[in-house]
Structure 1
Amino acid sequence: MTDSPSTLSPEHLEDLRLRTRNFIRSTVIPAEPHPGEALDAATRIRLQMAAKEAGIFAPHVSTRYGGQGLPIEHWSVIFQEAGYSLIGPSALNCMAPDEGNMHMLALIGTEEQKQRYLVPLANGDTRSCFGMTEPHPGAGSDPAALLTTATKVDGGWSITGHKRFTSGALLADFCIVMTRTEAVGGSPAGATMLLVDLANPGVRVGKLIHTMDRAIDGGHPHVHFENCVVPDSAVLGEVGKGFTYAQVRLGPARLTHCMRWLGLARRSLDIALDRIERREIFGSPMKNLGLAQELIAQCVIDIETSDAIITKTALLLATDAKAGSALSSVAKVYVSEAVCRVIDRCVQLCGGDGVSDDLPLASYLNEVRPFRIYDGSNETHKWAISRRASARRAAAVAAGEPYLADVGDEF
């Protein structure tokens, strides 16, 4: 999807970061809606046009498809700058779910699919969503519970199923739908991804799920597929390999969420630092009080630790997608919890104003709290992290490493 890393110099990356930083502060932040309100369509279009003129639009997309061509190991510094504002990623067209869908389309889509879906999506002309989550007992944190089916028909597929929490669907033009398929013509049974235009008469966007977050345009509605027929050309990748492709999408998507939210954590700390610089209490500036210093120090530690694990994971994703996807679970758990801690401390430092709409911190808490659930609950990721750790250690001991738990005969 991205251009060769060899075409990117450190100077070019730093220049792009500084231009993005300036754009967010000078153009995006003044256009932010009132805390808790969504970005309106006209403002989004205006900001995207300005981002194109500034040469910072779609940083993650190949230059072939209209982006800046950054390889994944360089996304973080730019995504953090974009995430300094809740609407920054939308302005730069690197917001979920579109960003993750662009990444997957570029990696596994046919050229025809790229021209039809990726090019307008990367240009900001269309919107998209990803249909994975289903009502219980369907797929959620456990994708193997997938219930939506796609049945082979003459010249295509007929989809029947019910998705929920389909982020962005209210404004989307198309959906990448995870379906369960039987073995067909030598292809294995399993999951298959299908590209579905939401104008298809077999699609019905249903009830909107009202959640505490507002940053994702298009909400989190239900989407119903009722004998929705799509052509064979709608298959994304290969039939039966949907779960494999899901990891292609979900590993980087988890990490880019971390990048964007870390930018918001940095914004929150700046708000708190500005607050304690000028506020006095008990005859001393707040910045000189030990309790305030403890909160600030813990924020810095969480931010820098998050930054380090994001950087390590991105480098690994660039060279070993499977290992990088595994480490992205660690990053997702740590960063989602660290960002919540940072913003919560900043609310505390700002006192009553911190929980009011006079500052945006309370709305930031509402935005970041769901990330501990979205893209797989943290508890599910911890279960997988633990299983992988146990399996790695058992394999190492079986291969000859010493067993370290022997304590000898103590009695």
Structure 2
Amino acid sequence: MEYHDSEKAKEVAGRVEDFMEEVVLPREREALATGEQITMDEIHDFWDQAKERNLFAPQVPEEYGGQGLDFQDMLPSFEQVGRSLIGALAIRANAPQEGNMHTFEMVGTEEQKEEYLRPLVQGEIQTAFAMTEPKQGGGSDPKMLQSTAVKDGDEWVINGHKWWTSDGLNADYYLAMVRTDLDAHPYSGTSIILVPSEADGVEVVRNVPHLGGHGITERKGGHAEVKFDNVRVPVENTLGEENEGFQIAQMRLGGGRLTHCMRYSGMAERSLDVAKAYLAEREAFGTTLEEKQALRHRIADAETRLHAARCMVRHAARELDRNDARIEVAMAKMFTANVTNETIDLALQCCGGNGIGKDLPIAHFYENVRAFRIVDGADEVHRRSIARWAFEDIDEAEVENALQFDEDLRIDALDE
């Protein structure tokens, strides 16, 4: 399909695809076949090769060690890395690091960019975004945020309980969402504060067991439960303006949702590729499976919906460059999450026993993709936003006219 991406976007994505096919996917296949984990030394070697090919951290400005691609231009590359279980990590475009880099770039001071962004891009430090809390704290309803930070002189004193903190086990610093003005509504009284993992009072309770997690690298990722007990950090560790944490998080999540969409669409595309190759070779009931009309029609539907998802993401990306594009992003995220779930489920079904086996990547994809309907905003949250937008501008006179029109039609029908 031709998506009218810029020439630069297509050229870089082509080189990313070559890197995946020539370097990353062969090592991934070997790891799946042997059970031998990919070491961090190997990941660092991928980074070196990505740098040599001018592919490293495509989303980061060149001055901080990335490739400086515009947001729209980097999306096709994110789709290519999504085709591999380790593709995003191999070029330093993996969540949550990619989103945290973007946050530092958007609102960090020059001093913070030098101290945190530059080493973060190079993999010298790791970060985690600590927002979600156990019940009854912030989750799908983020205004329920319970964690707090109170000023004591030139320090914040932070107390809170977080979980589902991605890469929290490895983090050197947490970008912690905490309430800093308890008299204000959380939307206007919350800040993002940098908390060193080594600070007194920081406790990493555990990595939360969860569905998915392919485990083919020795890197311990996961989603951590973290407690902050009277943790003291300098006020200068505030990231962005005080009490504007929700606005900053929304900017971070808008782009992050779209990059996730592209990574998962790449995952779905590869799943379809594997399934179609299997259907072309597997014979049953007198013909190859690819000749069975029911399967052909389901593949056609999946290709169509995946194409629609890609178009929605690109449209939302264009709008995001012009305004906040909140509804466009919500629509794209919700639709793509469901399409990629359905597509990978179909691919697994097409491959039968080989689909649930882990010689192929589809079973890993299947486990990982289910979370996408929850992370970065559950389906229900996005539907709520879209529905609110859909009804907010209804004019009462227009409603009255529409109802009268329907009544007139009903009377005419009865007369006939």
Q: Given the two structures, how large is their TM-score scaled by the length of structure 1?
A: 0.91
Report whether the alignment pairs 1:13 with 2:9.
yes
2:320 is matched by which residue type in structure 1?
L
CA contact under 8 A between 2:9 and 2:74: conserved in structure 1? no
Once the two structures are superposed, residues 209-241 of structure 1 have per-residue CA deviations (whole angstroms, 9 ceiling, x without a partner) of 111121695211101111111112101111111
Instruction: Tell me, yes or no, if structure 1 residue 352 matches structure 2 residue 353.
Output: yes
**Residue of structure 2 in register with 1:174 after alignment:** 173
Q: Please tell me whether the aligned partners of residues 61 and 67 of structure 2 are also in contact (alpha carbons under 8 angstroms).
A: yes
Query: Secondary structure at the residue paired with 1:404?
Result: helix
**What are the superposed Cα offsets for residues 25-52 of structure 1, whole Å, 9 maximum, x if unpaired?**
1111122232899754222222112111
Deviation at 1:55, TM superposition (A): 0.9
Which amino acid counterpart does residue 290 of structure 1 have in structure 2? Q
Q: Matches of 2:188 and 2:285 in 1, distance apart?
A: 69
Shift of 1:298: 1.6
Work out whether 1:276 is the aligned partner of 2:274: no
Counterpart for residue 110 of structure 1: 109
Counterpart in the other structure of 1:335: 336
Aligned pair count reads 395
AA aligned to 2:135 is H
Which segment drifts farther, 39-48 or 326-335? 39-48
Q: Does the 8 Å CA contact 1:106/1:118 hold for their aligned counterparts?
A: yes
Distance (whole Å) between structure 2 residues aligned to residue 10 and residue 384 of structure 1:
31
Conserved? CA contact 1:31–1:43, under 8 Å: no
**Structure 1 residues 56 and 182, CA gap change in structure 2 (3 angstroms):** same
1:299 aligns with 2:302: yes
Which residue number in structure 2 is paired with residue 235 of structure 1? 238
3-state SS in 2 of match to 1:172: coil
Contact 1:129–1:174 (CA<8 Å) still a contact in 2? yes
Asked if 1 retains the 8 angstrom alpha-carbon contact of 2:32 and 2:359, the reply is no
One-letter amino acid matched to 2:65: G
Matches within 5 A, 1:378-393: 378-392=379-393
**Other-structure match for 1:258:** 261
What is the CA-CA distance between 1:63 and the residue it aligns to? 1.1
Give the whole-Å Cα distance in 2 for the aligned partners of 1:333 and 1:138: 23
**1:277/1:286 contact within 8 Å kept:** yes
| Cα distance in structure 2, aligned partners of 1:236 and 1:257 | 23
Q: Deviations over 1:179-238 (max 9, x none)?
A: 001279xxx961011011112122111111111121695211101111111112101111
SS of the residue corresponding to residue 98 of structure 2 reads helix
Corresponding residue number in structure 2 for 1:75 = 74
C-alpha distance in 1, partners of 2:71/2:188?
32
Please state whether the residue corresponding to 1:56 is helix, strand or coil.
Answer: coil
Q: 2:311 is matched by which residue type in structure 1? A: A
The AA in structure 2 aligned to 1:11 is E
| 2:138 alignment partner, SS class | coil
2:289 is aligned with 1:286: yes
Indicate conservation of the 8 Å contact 1:80/1:261, yes or no.
yes
Tell me, what secondary structure is at the counterpart of 1:140? coil
Aligned mates of 1:268, 1:160 — CA distance in 2 = 44
Which amino acid in the other structure matches residue 93 of structure 2?
Answer: C
3-state SS in 2 of match to 1:129: strand
Give 1:357 shift: 1.5
Structure 1 unaligned blocks of 5 or more? 1-8
Q: What letter matches 2:221 in structure 1?
A: G
**Aligned letter for 1:305?**
A
CA deviation profile, 1:360-389 (whole Å, cap 9, x unmatched):
211110000011111121112111211111
Could you tell me how far apart the structure 2 residues matched to 1:261 and 1:272 are? 16
* Partners of 2:334 and 2:382 within 8 A in 1: yes
**Separation in 1, partners of 2:51, 2:403:** 59
Corresponding residue for 2:414? Answer: none
- The 3-state SS of whatever aligns with 1:390 is helix
More divergent stretch after superposition (285-294 vs 54-63): 285-294
- CA drift of 1:403 comes to 4.6
* Residue 404 to residue 149, structure 1, CA distance change in 2 (3 Å): same
> Is residue 37–residue 214 contact of structure 1 (8 Å, CA) maintained in 2?
no
In the aligned structure 2, how far is the partner of 1:368 from the partner of 1:98?
Answer: 19
- Contact 1:183–1:240, Cα closer than 8 Å, also in 2: no
Instruction: Give me the whole-angstrom Cα distance separating, in 1, the residues matched to 2:64 and 2:179.
Output: 31
How far residue 88 of structure 1 moved from its aligned partner, in angstroms, is: 0.3
- Cα displacement string for residues 101-157 of structure 1 (whole angstroms, at most 9, x for unaligned residues): 111110111111111111111122221110000010000111100000000011121
More deviation in 46-55 or 160-169? 46-55
Work out whether 1:267 is the aligned partner of 2:257. no
Give the deviation of 1:10 after TM superposition.
3.5
User: Is this contact kept in 2: 1:252–1:325, CA < 8 A?
Assistant: no
Preserved contact between residue 8 and residue 73 of structure 2 (Cα < 8 Å): no
